[in-house]
Amino acid sequence: MSRAGRHRGGAIRLDTWLLRHLQVALASLGHLTRAPFSTLMTAAVIGIALALPTGLSLLLGNLQQLSGHWDGAASISLFLTEKSTLEKADRLAGRLRARDDIARVRLIDRDQALDEFRTLSGFSGAIDALDNNPLPNLLVVEPTPLHSTPEAASALLDELQALDDVEFAQIDLQWVRRFHGITEIAQRTVLILGGLLGLAVLLVVGNTIRLEIENRRAEIEITKLIGGTNAFIRRPFLYSGLWYGLLGGLIAWLLVSLSLFLLESPVSQLAGLYESQFGLSGMGPGAFLLLLAGSALLGLLGSWIAVGRHLSAIEPT
């Protein structure tokens, strides 16, 4: 056979293989739709199990995002020397903004700082009696998230302290360490909870597929009698687990989106009381696709385990 003939033959076999899988996938979906209540109940259990770690992970991400709006959250204050003029301070701020490890730099000149202190302290009379402004120019440096850890922030602090125009550099490392310790505990808690609930999804799908195998025991025996292989019999059950996982992922996404929608208004009102523009961030397209892929994989894996365990025990008598 020529190379072109072999190529056409391979393409035909591939098309046939894809067509058969598509037929089985649609047939499995049709089988699930014939029992909509039980299918919805199983998918809802999967969705609730997946929604909890997903929602907690989103809330943790919003909490970390909110920490960037708090004054002093991993920010470094650079008190410049008395000889450092406003022009020098502005040039230094420009050089710092060009660094990859610094997200933002805010310049507070000495006159602005004195006016703010006069307004907030209540000692305007004593301040007006001063001969000159004792406050230095100040740069507030906010590192990028990757450089906001206690170790990275401490190294950046030492590096900025060595600059010529910097008299003194300060950061509240104790607060940074506490915050990162809390978020690390929260992240590990979400991972543990996600692992346990993922195991629960495997058990739910596996038990559901096991019941389907038992209900279709006679059909499986007849299929084996006429020469059907285990791979052929296994295929519709695997697609059923895949559909359960996808439906559960969609329900989880709906539950998380609804929860964020209900929380959005009170969170915005609370942020407004603190003169903040903070708003909850929802699930982006990447996270949505990751949720669907993870739920589908859990459904497929749970089905594979159940089929592999129970299908081989069914033999025609």
pLDDT for 229 equals 75
SS3 content of the chain, % helix, strand, coil (to 5): 70, 5, 20
| Cβ–Cβ under 8 Å, residues 245 and 298 | yes
Q: Which pLDDT belongs to residue 118?
A: 62
φ, ψ (nearest 5 deg) of residue 142: -110, 115
Domains of the chain and any CATH numbers: 20-67+187-310 (no CATH), 76-171 (3.30.70.3040)
Share of the chain above pLDDT 90, in %: 22
Amino acid at 233: I
Distance from C-alpha of 18 to C-alpha of 87, rounded to nearest angstrom = 69
Sheet holding 166-170, edge to edge: 102-108, 138-143, 76-80, 166-170
Mean pLDDT (whole number) for 216-242: 82
Higher pLDDT, 47 or 112: 47
Please say whether the dihedral angle defined by the alpha carbons of residues 118, 123, 128 and 130, taken in this order, is positive or negative: negative
Q: Is the pTM of this model over 0.85?
A: no
Judged on CB neighbours under 10 Å (0-12, 13-18, 19+), 136 is: buried
Residue among 206, 212, 202 at smallest CA distance from 233? 212
- pLDDT for the residue numbered 43: 93
Q: How many residues are listed for the chain in this entry?
A: 317
Confidence of residue 78 (pLDDT cuts 50, 70, 90): confident
- Asked whether the predicted pLDDT for residue 131 surpasses 60, the reply is no
Q: Bridge partners of 138?
A: 79, 108
Identify the pLDDT of residue 72: 43
Q: What was the pLDDT predicted at 130? A: 58
For residues 39 and 32, the answer to whether their CB atoms sit within 8 Å is: yes
Is 90 exceeded by the pLDDT of residue 196? yes
User: Chain-centre distance of CA 232, in angstroms?
Assistant: 38
Model confidence at 177: pLDDT above 80: no
Stretch 61-68: mean pLDDT, rounded? 69
Phi then psi for residue 80, to 5 deg, are: -85, 165
Q: Please check the confidence at residue 195 and state whether its pLDDT lies above 80.
A: yes
Strand partners, 140: 77, 106
Query: 132 or 183: which carries more pLDDT confidence?
Result: 183
Q: Is the pLDDT of residue 242 over 60?
A: yes
* Amino acid 3: pLDDT: 55
Strands, E, within the chain: which ranges?
Answer: 76-80, 102-108, 138-143, 166-170
Mean pLDDT of the chain: 80
Given a cut of 80, whether residue 82 has pLDDT beyond it is no
Q: How confident is the model at residue 66 (pLDDT cuts 50, 70, 90)?
A: low
What is the pLDDT, as a whole number, of residue 71? 44
- Confidence band for 122, pLDDT divided at 50, 70 and 90: low
- Indicate if the pLDDT at residue 139 is higher than 60: yes
Report residue 146: phi and psi, to 5°.
Answer: -70, -25
pLDDT score of 2 more than 90:
no
Whole-number pLDDT of residue 125: 56
